[in-house]
């Protein structure tokens, strides 16, 4: 009889894969699913078990994590014909995707009807944070389910912020975080484009701002990718565009004005609609450079 904990992971993309890798351990039997066989191959080589569907994973594992690109995909994976809800072993489903309170609410309700607890578990820190194990985690759900999940969340990330007992509260926190990041990015790039056009050295500008009152994650997390021209932050423009739209919609539903963030949202929407949706979100800088007429680059 194995003493290993059976854990499932659904979605092995830029965020999911490095998080799932942190669960590969002697005391874990990891079960994985991704529609791309090549994404599962590396995990199988390291001892994980590949499956043909989310249901198959949920038939084998008591805890199932999901990190997926859209709410529509998350809902289908959780509640569809071959979804987690039909699994015979799963008792806790941890949804790490950014899908908004309404979608996680439907997922939680559907899973509860099958006796499965849903923990709303979004994360923040980007692909680099996922690889380094420094993610911030924001779970919301029944206290017993969150307590069971906590040791595994601690392996995936660095800090855990308990957001409440209702699925949806974690999603709201994630949208607050991503709205701030999205707004800061647009504001920073506009200001750096202005400084570059006026003849300031972009690298010196970023260094100075990070030492002053304008500092933010944009300066040390995003701007190095812009200054170097590598544009490899690791997340697609479409992902943040989706998150910003979700956040604006949820704020409107709460009756909270988003006048400034609506302007930033228009920039992300414009970029995504002009053929940049699949590009790394750091490439937004090239759009602002074009408007400003000066490159935001470190000297070669």
Residues 6+ apart with CB under 8 A from 255: none
Residue 174 is among the residues annotated as catalytic for this protein: yes
Among 261, 106, 290, 104, residue whose Cα is nearest residue 181? 261
Distance CA 62, CA 64 (A): 7
Under 8 Å between Cβ of 63 and 89: no
Name the active-site residue from 4, 55, 72, 174: 174
Among 37, 31, 97, 19, residue whose Cα is nearest residue 59? 31
Residue 300: the pLDDT is: 65
By CB atoms closer than 10 A (0-12, 13-18, 19+), residue 14 is middle
Residue 223: the pLDDT is: 97
Q: Give me the average pLDDT of each 10-residue run along the chain (300 residues).
A: 89 96 97 97 97 98 97 97 97 97 97 98 93 96 98 97 98 97 98 97 97 97 96 94 96 96 97 96 96 88
Torsional sign, CA 110, 112, 116, 121: positive
- Under CATH, to which class is 171-292 assigned? mainly alpha
Q: Between the CA of residue 213 and those of 64, 86, 219, what are the distances in Å?
A: 42, 52, 12
How would you classify residue 4: left for phi > 0, otherwise alpha for psi between -120 and 50, otherwise beta? beta
Where are the domains positioned within the chain?
5-165, 171-292
pTM confidence score: 0.94
Supply the CATH classification number for the domain 5-165. 3.40.50.720
Q: What is the DSSP string of 48-97?
A: -EE-SSHHHHHHH-SEEEE--S-HHHHHHHHHSTTSGGG-SS--EEEE-S
182: helix, strand or coil: helix
Residue 6: the pLDDT is: 98
């Amino acid at each position: 009889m194995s003493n290993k904990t059976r854990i499932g992971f659904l979605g092995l993309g830029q965020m999911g894969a490095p998080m799932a890798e942190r669960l590969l351990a002697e005391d874990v039997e990891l079960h994985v699913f991704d529609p791309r066989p090549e994404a599962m191959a590396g995990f199988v080589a390291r001892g994980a078990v590949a499956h043909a569907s989310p249901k198959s994973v949920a038939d084998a594992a008591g805890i199932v994590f999901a990190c997926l690109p859209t709410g529509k995909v998350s809902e289908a994976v959780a509640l569809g014909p071959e979804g987690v809800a039909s699994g015979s072993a799963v008792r806790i489903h941890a949804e790490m995707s950014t899908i908004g309170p309404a979608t996680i609410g439907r997922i939680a309700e559907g899973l509860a009807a099958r006796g499965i607890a849903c923990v709303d578990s979004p994360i923040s820190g980007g692909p680099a944070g996922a690889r380094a194990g420094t993610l911030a985690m924001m779970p919301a759900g029944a206290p017993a389910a969150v307590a069971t999940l906590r040791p595994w969340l601690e392996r995936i990330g660095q800090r855990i912020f308990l957001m409440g007992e209702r699925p949806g509260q974690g999603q709201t926190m994630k949208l607050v975080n991503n709205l701030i990041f999205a707004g800061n990015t647009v504001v920073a790039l506009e200001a750096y484009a202005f400084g570059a056009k006026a003849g300031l050295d972009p690298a010196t500008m970023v260094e100075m701002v990070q030492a002053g009152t304008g500092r933010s994650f944009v300066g040390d997390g995003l701007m190095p990718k812009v200054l170097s021209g590598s544009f490899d932050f690791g997340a697609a423009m479409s992902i943040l565009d989706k998150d910003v739209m979700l956040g604006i919609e949820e704020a409107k539903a709460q009756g909270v004005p988003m006048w400034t963030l609506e302007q930033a949202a228009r920039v992300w929407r414009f970029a995504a609609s002009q053929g940049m949706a699949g590009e790394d979100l750091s490439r937004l800088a090239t759009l602002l450079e074009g408007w400003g007429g000066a490159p935001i680059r470190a000297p070669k």
